[in-house]
Structure 1
Amino acid sequence: MYKHTMVGIVTLCAAALLGPAVATSSAAPTTVPVTAHRQLQDPVLVDCLWHPEVRPTDFMLACGDGNSRLTSLRWTDWNANSATATGVNVVNDCKPYCAVGKFHSFPVTVRLDTPQTWKRHPQVRQYTEITLTYPGARPDKFQHTVTYPLWN
């Protein structure tokens, strides 16, 4: 009889301890803080490692080889429709080939557009287009303004 009583007490204690944990985990989605909800409204910029970023200071454009990246980004706008920043595009000239090429810096204005649902996280929207505008010097064979799709 003592053995059955101890098993019953242990079972009741375990149930009492697990009850609040189960209730808390099932209630969590309905108690999302207002600030977290606001962050999901504005789109994100998805980096090479599939991390969502908001107003990053650096961003890799050439994920495969690292031969083009944005640095020193200063965002003047980030909203539900677009984002704008100024910064520097650091580009490898790949002369005579990329492994021995030299990196050159070009001032650039960056604009993010066309927010859409992020396929990996449907509750999040991401910018899907980036436009680079070079006010002065620019990489060889680049137009004054270039637009690229961003990965989804």
Structure 2
Amino acid sequence: MRGSLVGTAITLAAGTLLTAAMTTAAASTATTAGAKQASPPPVLVDCQWRRDYRPVDFILACGDGNSRLSGLQWKHWNAEGATAVGVNMVNDCKPYCAAGTFRYYQVTVRLDRPQAWKKDPNVQHFTRMSLTYADARPEGYKQVMTYPLWD
């Protein structure tokens, strides 16, 4: 009888160890899958190489600041793209930029084409921006202007 009890105890211990190992493996797989889904959304990189998420303002003309986005209200921002509405403030540079007047144009902003950022390959950033002007637009601009974003 004693041999039978020892055999039963060994069988139960082995079953318990096997169950614990399988539970640990399943938890590890679930954590890994959750980490992939929880990766942060792409960012928008600004003129000073800072990453930003849903910025309210964004400078388009980094050299002189004569074109900027302001009052951005983001409708969505995910791994594929982002969309906002706001104002494009553009200096008309008449008679020259220092004496020019900033004009305000309603725009829809779209970000897309996320890629790994060269400065930090673990970070995805948007590489293209499109501006769609609602009505009026700056002289020489098309209704939709598309710009590559810096890396």
Range into which the TM-score falls when normalised by the shorter chain: 0.7 to 0.9
Q: Which residue identity lines up with residue 87 of structure 1 in the other structure?
A: G
| 1:115 and 2:100 matched | no
Tell me the alpha carbon deviations over residues 84-132 of structure 1, each in whole angstroms, 9 at most, x when there is no partner: 0000000000111111110000000000010000000000000000000
Tell me the alpha carbon deviations over residues 49-93 of structure 1, each in whole angstroms, 9 at most, x when there is no partner: 111000000000001000000000000010001000000000000
Instruction: Normalising by structure 1, report the TM-score.
Output: 0.74
| 1:140 and 2:143 matched | no
For structure 2, which runs of at least 5 residues remain unmatched after alignment?
Answer: 1-33
* 2:148 aligned partner: 149
Counterparts of 2:93 and 2:126, CA distance in 1: 29
Q: How does 1:63-74 map to 2 (within 5 A)?
A: 63-74=62-73
Q: How does 1:86-97 map to 2 (within 5 A)?
A: 86-97=85-96
Other structure's SS at 2:98 match? helix
Question: Matched residue pairs, number?
Answer: 117
Other structure's SS at 1:99 match? helix
* 1:129 aligned partner: 128
Identity across matched positions, percent: 57
Counterparts of 2:47 and 2:140, CA distance in 1: 25
Counterparts of 1:77 and 1:66, CA distance in 2: 26
* 2:50 aligned partner: 51
Structure of greater Rg: 2
Q: Following TM superposition, where does structure 1 have runs of at least 4 consecutive aligned residues deviating by more than 3 angstroms?
A: none
Deviation at 1:41, TM superposition (A): 2.7
Instruction: Normalising by structure 2, report the TM-score.
Output: 0.74
